[in-house]
Amino acid sequence: MKKVIGIGSALVDILTRIDNDDTLHELNIAKGSMMLVDEKSSAIIENKLKNYESTMAPGGSAANTIHGLAKLGIESGFVSFVGDDELGKFFEDSMNSVGVKPLLSHTKTASGTARTIISADGERTFATNLGASLEMHEGIITDEVFKDWEYCYLEGYLIANRPLFKKAIDTAKSNGCKVVLDLASFNVVEDNRDFLNELLPQIDIIFANEEEAKALTQKSAEESLHHIAENVDIAVVKIGKRGSLIKRGEEVVQIGCNKIDVVDTTGAGDMYAAGFLYGLIKGYDLERCGTIGNHLAESIIQVVGAKMDENRWREFKYLAQV
């Protein structure tokens, strides 16, 4: 069976429920906001929330997808940086526990965290410290990294580090790997539109949501699909409640969505990619690949956070017939 190596930020997701919003006011954090914080600010937040119960899980966009692929039985690996600390050990052990081969470099910088603060009314506030992941550099990308892997999965956030991103694509292709990219953020796409368009012919599969696709092509979702597919083997544009659009060559497929109660959309796109790639590796047609991706995305948005327990995984596998 084909194998997938992922490259991206190694973060530990920390979910904390608070009983009132005074804590956010005291931290001077706007409720419902998403913000990047430095190590000092992250430590202040951690200290303020230390008396609340928290749960942890390995996180990061590409890491979520690789974790999902491993849960589906696909041989997977992950390249990143972590701190030489308890959180770094937790990330490595967690990935190991589901069968991911962690190809991690260790540094004295603290491991990255993605903290989700959940208010009593369910609204979520995000504070992310990239930590050790910021130390990733093109020097870690070698031919050896891609030996024995068939797919290289990249998260769009890596585009901010252009030398690393381009070297990863060039080295993966020269070693016979298909390159898969999830665009990850329309802000990143807008800031790097020309750079991305230049690299499109080197990418085999692209996942984008509607906003990211529009940011890349400055066209509608449907027009974006066709534009992207002219340059890559498979283009996937996720269009929210309308499902997803998939194109390979002249073949176009639209996958619809089921009506479900949404608890938390964290990780939905990451899990869609995991389900889709699983189907592709198994040799399924595009419609079934998209349907599996959709089922997995629908499963993850019914729980808090980007990880599911074993009961949820069994339910998903039954519904998706995998």
At 304 the pLDDT is 78
Report the phi/psi class of residue 147: left, alpha or beta, with left for phi > 0 and alpha for psi in -120 to 50: beta
**Structure tokens of 237?**
């544009």
Question: What pLDDT digit, counting tens, does each position of 134-189 carry?
Answer: 999 999 999 999 998 999 999 998 998 999 999 999 999 999 999 999 997 888 89
Q: What structural domains and CATH numbers belong to the chain?
A: 4-9+60-111+137-320 (3.40.1190.20)
How far is the CA of 11 from the CAs of 48, 67, 281, 315, in angstroms? 20, 13, 27, 27
Report the phi/psi class of residue 316: left, alpha or beta, with left for phi > 0 and alpha for psi in -120 to 50: alpha
* Complete DSSP assignment for 31-67: TT-EEE--HHHHHHHHHHTTTS-EEEEEE-HHHHHHH
Q: Report pTM.
A: 0.91
Distance of CA 222 to the CA centre of its chain: 23
Question: What pLDDT digit, counting tens, does each position of 48-70 carry?
Answer: 999 998 988 899 999 999 999 99
Interatomic CA distance for residues 293 and 270, integer angstroms: 9
Residue 11's nearest CA partner among 107, 76, 123, 92 is 92
Question: What pLDDT digit, counting tens, does each position of 208-243 carry?
Answer: 999 999 999 999 999 999 999 999 999 999 998 889
CA quadruple 220, 222, 226, 232: dihedral sign: positive
Is 90 exceeded by the pLDDT of residue 319? Answer: no
